[in-house]
Amino acid sequence: MHIFPRKEKSTPEQYYFGEYTDKPLAPFSVSVANFDVSFTGEKAHYHKVNQKVFITISGKGILNVNNNKIELVEEQMIQIEPGEIHFIEKVIEAPLKIIVINSAKIDDKVVVE
């Protein structure tokens, strides 16, 4: 058994569980993101290897995936495949709280300019 304490990320109100090392205990990562109405969106990006899963806990927002706007709503899970360009575009109803699961613990994020 392993217990993973909450660790703060550099972005306010976001945190994760586990370690990012060359020999992770779990082959995936889990983080929690909280956004308020002041959120102005993130940069479009994709992942080379990672799949990403978004589970909305509360609030509403817009997730842009390959130029398709998808509403983030409670009781829904969205899976992003490697190579799919995505970003959280805006918050509709705050607080927008999302669980984010990455399929691997590698930093393979590529920002699209």
Report pLDDT for 29: 81
Residue corresponding to tokens 């703060």: 8
Instruction: Write out pLDDT tens, residues 90-102.
Output: 999 999 999 999 8
Instruction: Write out pLDDT tens, residues 49-86.
Output: 999 999 999 999 999 999 999 999 998 889 999 999 99
Residue 30, CB-side half-sphere exposure with 13 Å CA sphere: 9
CATH architecture of 6-111: Sandwich (2.60)
> What six digits make up the tokens of 104?
């691997």
Domain coordinates in residue numbering, the chain: 6-111
**CA 70/CA 52 separation, integer angstroms:** 15
SS3 of 56, please?
strand
CB 19 within 8 A of CB 55: no
Instruction: Write out pLDDT tens, residues 13-57.
Output: 777 776 655 566 667 888 889 999 898 888 999 999 999 999 999
Output the pTM of the full model. Answer: 0.80
